[in-house]
A and B are shown apart, each in its own frame.
Chain A
Amino acid sequence: AQSVTQPDIHITVSEGASLELRCNYSYGATPYLFWYVQSPGQGLQLLLKYFSGDTLVQGIKGFEAEFKRSQSSFNLRKPSVHWSDAAEYFCAVGARTGGFKTIFGAGTRLFVKA
């Protein structure tokens, strides 16, 4: 069965500092991988996705993520955080077969301090 683990419930970084949000998944084969961002009281916005090919994927708002098969990880990174990046971040795993059901991690809340 699919599962997603985001080990950090919340993270605080200083504005301008680098950011890495961790995500580990469990799936029988290579899954589809996603990172979504949610601002308070809003729906989710897709930041980036990995389907196949280059394991380093670029997304919107300056984010990138690296798929590491050996570690079953898909960590999200940003070199310099802006105050507007404060939000909830969800890693998600999508199945390649059957209903295309997506499983979301518990989320990591990012706080940005001035």
Chain B
Amino acid sequence: GAVVSQHPSWVICKSGTSVKIECRSLDFQATTMFWYRQFPKQSLMLMATSNEGSKATYEQGVEKDKFLINHASLTLSTLTVTSAHPEDSSFYICSARDSSGGDGAKNIQYFGAGTRLSVL
């Protein structure tokens, strides 16, 4: 159980185009999902918290208009990198929390396999 599917796993795009990444919880409901960015050989940097039915909460320094997040259902969150540039090239990882269970269980994050974005 607790599987998170992230798609696509790898995308190459031209500079100036937009790219959408999907994150789905396959066997549980997730009112909250998280989007991370990971640079080579570094830890995960939280970009934003995606809340079902409401606006995402962005971390300081993350451009809201650049990284659009939509969480329209209890099982799907999308991250759209708008007008991508080479400096946006990175590994993007999503995670989801199971909405059920106690507070401890709510803290467990289930991760997608990540999306490697390369902007030419």
Q: Which residues of A pack against B, CB within 8 Å?
A: 32, 34, 36, 41-46, 49, 51-52, 90, 94-96, 99-102, 104-107, 109
Contacts and interface: CB of A to CB of B under 8 A. Distances in A.
Interface of B: 4, 6, 32, 34, 41-44, 46, 49, 57, 91, 93, 95, 97, 103-104, 106-114, 116
A44 B93 contact: yes
16 contacts: A34-B107, A34-B108, A41-B114, A41-B116, A42-B113, A43-B4, A43-B6, A46-B109, A49-B104, A90-B43, A96-B107, A99-B57, A101-B49, A102-B109, A104-B44, A107-B43
A106 B42 CA distance: 6
Contacts of B111: 36, 43-45
Contacts of B112: 43
A106 B43 contact: yes
Contacts of B113: 42-43
Contacts of A99: 32, 49, 57
Given A43-B93, A43-B113, A100-B97, A49 B42 contact: no
A58 to B, nearest CB: 16
Contacts of B34: 102
B100 to A, nearest CB: 13
8 shortest interchain CB distances as A-B pairs: A43-B111, A94-B107, A51-B104, A44-B111, A32-B107, A43-B113, A106-B43, A104-B44
Contacts of B116: 41
